[in-house]
Structure 1
Amino acid sequence: MAENMMHAVQYSSYGGGAAALKYVEVPIPSPKKGEVLLKLEATSLNPLDLKIQKGMMRPFFPRKFPHIPGTDVAGEVVKVGAGVKDFKTGDKVVAALGMASGGGLGEFVVAEQSLIVARPPQVSAVEGSGLPIAGISAYQALTSAGVKLDGSGPQLNLLITAASGGVGHYAVQLAKLGNTHVTATCGARNLDLVKSLGADEVLDYNTPDGAALKSPSGCKYDAVIQCTSGFIPWSTLEPNLSTNGKVIQLAPSATVYMTYAVKKLTFSKKKLIPLHAEPNKKDLDYLIKLIKEGKLKTIIDSKHPLSKAEDAWAKCLDGHATGKIIVEP
């Protein structure tokens, strides 16, 4: 391979799943003003990557074809562009890449310094790469629910659905840093894992009580952090909410927005809040510090070499990952 070329994985049109991923050699990108070039050590996949490939984000993402997917990365700075003052060659970092450009499934990528944070030695590349979308989504959902992660504020009863997934496993841990009682749902095989993350009560979603989201202790939820990929009907959620309870819906669909509008128009005390997480430097840095301090951890479902990226993609499509799926160059 030529010195200025790298291995990468890309697709050239919408659809096709794992079979559409192609292994290519492409030029190593050059950092522009305000950007740095990273040699990648780990990339975590997200359901959002799949939605982009399926065409669910068109016409906005991807910006063009062919497209190298992946937005959540960790690596080492190997070159800095003009105007970059916060980072230098050799720095270990975690970065969020733009959804339009992606680039995570390659050996190198350029990232904007405004979405890069330093990664201390105590945080591995694999742990750090899980945070940008999943960790920040969990964090922003909890703050929207009124949880104070410093433990201040009144106790809140929370329900976290899909608690063993990429977002859910972070949400349980972060919630327990606050003054919360956490009920969580997951599949039977992950009940013990979710308990170990701090959940006070765990429901198998395949049981009648789990499907109905009923707390074993009978409590009503002040907030539901809805991490499942599909929309749980309002008729299932509503009876379990406290008087002023709210549902924070991650990755909201058109149905969610319709329900949100109805709740708004009818002045319902029980609220549905659609949430699109916004990766930012401040939140990412906060989460990195929590991992460094041992207060948060990334659960790894599986690790795959870049040469087997289609296996990671297929596992993500399956939708039953426990924690994060990682690709390593």
Structure 2
Amino acid sequence: MIRHLVYSRWLFHHSKSVNTLVCLHGRQTRLLSTSKSSRNIMPAWVIDKYGGDDVLRFTKNASFPIITYPNEVIVQVHAAALNPIDVSMRGGYGASTLSMKRDPLNIKQSGTEFPLILGRDVSGVIMECGLDVKYFRERDEVWAAIPPWKQGSFAEFVVLSANEISHKPKSLSHIEAAAFPYVATTAWSALVNTGGLSKDNCAKKRILILGGSGGVGTFAIQMLKAWGAHVTVTCSQNAERFVRDLGADHVVDYTAGPVEEPLSVLEKFDLILDNVGGETERWALNLLKPWSGAKYVTLVTPFLQNTDSLGIADGMMQSACTMATKALKHLIKGVHYRWGFFAPSGPALDDVRDIVDAGQIRAVVEETFSFSQVPQAFEKLEKGHARGKTVVQIIEERADL
């Protein structure tokens, strides 16, 4: 199998024609060359060190992605979206943990992740499939959330595992589709995997979203409303109309004073999704229905900060102790305390696609930038107070593939 893959890759890089068909051990394999000469490089935005916006560098010589495992695909990127994690990763956030994920045996030297391509959201077209890929084929339009330990989407091509991708909603353009995957899989992981919610048990449940006007919040509002939940949201006054248009039933302005005061007079909640963190833990769990299985799920955790500052082993131990202590403290009061994390999932995006194509969730794109404007897109994101996603268009929609 390994020799077969190596030979297939050799043919891919040395084929002189497009869509060459070869026979290997009695099986036909469809190989694709992106140009008349072998393709080893591609345009991309990279960073060579951690830092501010000035570390972003455009290059036409980024390494072309290679299928290493038989369940991988190469996707030509049509659109990519920015998320706060891109800004954090540019500054080195999570570097220790992500380096361990990239190199579990610690074989490589420090800094081998560079040049690093950022970008967690992608919508594009499959250009090549590994030998074990069964549910996708070349030219399929797909979307995906790229794990932070992999090279990202601010490039012409990206390689992904088949279980990380999903067929793109037919009702969305690539620009619209790129606004979804990372926030959708993050919200899905927090609400479904950690919070235990689903379309079958969500009806009439009372959900509170702290920080509801950001990417995860705007997606969570729409998904929960599609499932029949009652959704209360905290946001600034100028975002109230925005979140109400997305379906929020009740909105509390956090700029009008201590937000816990107006929330405390409301009927208690079945689940709280916290996108804010900080002092919210001090009072938010008191808003849950006690002894009813109610859960508080926060996406603002110290896990990566602990591993960055303390090292992998000590950081994981510190995180485990913190989590266990808080969970036990609140369990005694009759509520469940949980940490939520992003989890890449093609099957989750399959379910999201069905909701989107049913017209129950719409894309919220605030601004679109061209591929040459990636630094400006980062500047826009860093200003904060976004009302939707910032998207980078890599390839024009009308391009002929």
TM-score (norm: length of structure 2): 0.74
Is 1:132 the equivalent of 2:211?
no
1:23 aligns with 2:97: no
Matches within 5 A, 1:1-329: 4=39, 5-16=41-52, 18-25=53-60, 26-32=62-68, 33-61=70-98, 63=102, 64-143=113-192, 144-150=194-200, 152=201, 155-208=204-257, 211-212=259-260, 214-215=262-263, 218-228=266-276, 230-244=277-291, 245-253=294-302, 260-266=323-329, 267-329=332-394
Question: Quick one: structure 1 residues 292 and 309, their matched pair in 2 at CA, closer, same or farther if it must change by over 3 Å?
Answer: same
Distance in 2 between the 1:34 and 1:147 partners?
30
Quick one: distance in 1 between partners of 2:283 and 2:67? 49
RMSD after superposition: 2.4
Taking a change above 3 Å as real, the CA distance of residues 259 and 158 of structure 1, as seen in their structure-2 partners, is farther
Note if contact 1:37-1:80 (Cα within 8 Å) is conserved in structure 2: yes
Identity of aligned residues (%): 28
1:326 and 1:49 mapped to 2: Cα distance? 13
Deviation at 1:213, TM superposition (A): 6.1
TM superposition score normalised by structure 1: 0.89
**In the alignment, residue 13 of structure 1 is paired with which amino acid?**
K
Secondary structure in 1 matching 2:114: coil
TM-fit CA distance, 1:325:
1.4
Distance in structure 2 (CA, Å) of the matches to 1:131 and 1:189: 23
How many Å apart are 1:24 and its aligned residue? Answer: 0.6
What is the alpha-carbon distance in structure 2 between the residues aligned to residue 216 and residue 302 of structure 1? 36
Query: 1:249: Cα distance to partner?
Result: 0.3
CA distance in 1, matches of 2:204, 2:175: 33
Query: Structure 2: 5+ residue runs without aligned partners?
Result: 1-34, 103-112, 307-318, 395-401
**AA paired with 1:99?**
P
- Residue 258 of structure 1 deviates from its aligned partner by 6.4
Contact 1:147/1:175 (8 A) holds in 2: no
What letter corresponds to residue 7 of structure 1 in structure 2?
A: P
Q: Deviations over 1:109-168 (max 9, x none)?
A: 122212111124322212322332211222232223343324x46632211122111100
**Does the Cα contact within 8 Å between 1:38 and 1:78 map onto a contact in 2?**
yes
Residues paired across the two proteins, number: 324
Aligned pair in 2 of structure 1 residues 235, 76: CA closer, same or farther (>3 Å)? same
Larger Rg: 2
Supply the distance in 1 between the matched residues of 2:181 and 2:300 (Cα, whole angstroms).
Answer: 15
8 Å CA contact 1:139–1:174 kept in 2: the answer is: no
8 A contact 2:202–2:229 mirrored in 1? no
Once the two structures are TM-superposed, the CA of residue 178 in structure 1 deviates from its matched residue by 2.8
User: By percentage of residues, which structure has more strand?
Assistant: 1
> Could you tell me which amino acid in structure 2 is paired with residue 149 of structure 1?
K
Structure with the bigger percentage of helix: 2
Q: 1:252-311, CA deviations, whole angstroms, 9 ceiling, x for partnerless residues?
A: 125987664333334331232111121112101111111111111121121111101011
